[in-house]
Each structure stands twice: as C-alpha cells, then as structure tokens.
Amino acid sequence: MGNPIMRLFEESGMSVQEFASAADLKYSTAYDIVHGKANMENIGAGAFVRIARVFNTTADALLSSADVDSDGLWPDERELLSLYRKMEQSEQSLLIEVAQRFSSLGRSVR
C-alpha cells in the first residue's frame, strides 16, 4: 500500500464510518482517504493531526513515507520483528498474547 493512512486503516479493523467519526471527518472524505482517492496534499493539517491520533501516531509519521522500508514496515515494526525472531517459541506466544490484550484495550478506549 502506498500511503500509510490506508495501511493503518486496513490494520485497524475499523469501518469507514468509525474512522470518519474518530477523526471528525465527513464520511465521504474518510472514504476517499482510505480508498486512495483523496489527494493527500489537499488534506488539511488539522485533519492529519486528528487522523494521526486515531492511529496513535503523529502527523509527521503519516507524511513521512521515507520511514517505511521496502517491506512496508516502519522502523519500530522492523525492530519488533527483529526482537520477535530472536525469541523462543514460548516467548513469542506470550508476546502475541500481550499485544492482543493491548490492542483490544486501545479499541475499547476510543
């Protein structure tokens, strides 16, 4: 995926309506953004900040596609993957369990 908002949206499991509501965007604007139809240069700074908050990141990170490697991974994701691969299988299972718990906490807080 070329733009990080599309990737983050897909990973979030949110509907377009949930995304629009969380980012305080019109449904049509949110739809265009997550389906790659919006010109990213026409999205205002305030909208970028609100979108970033929805995905627990920063507007700078959303705008900086240079931080994404050729596999589409952010530096933090690459580091987590590296650490994961160094773990024993039982540690990997525990890490996944903890990450799932944190993920579900984040969704219920929104």
Residues 30 and 83 in one domain: no
10 and 61 part of one domain: yes
- Taking the C-alpha atoms of residue 65 and residue 18, their distance in angstroms, rounded to an integer, is 25
pTM of the complete model beyond 0.95: no
Whole-Å CA distances, 99 to 19, 35, 80, 102: 22, 27, 11, 5
- For residue 51, give the nearest of 93, 83, 7 by alpha carbon: 7
Owning domain of residue 28: 4-67
Q: Are residues 53 and 15 in the same domain?
A: yes
**pLDDT per residue as tens digits for the range 15-40:** 999 999 999 999 999 999 998 888 77
Together in a domain, 16 and 33: yes
- 57-69 pLDDT, tens digit each: 888 777 765 456 6
* Shared-domain flag, residues 63 and 104: no
Are residues 87 and 42 part of one domain?
no
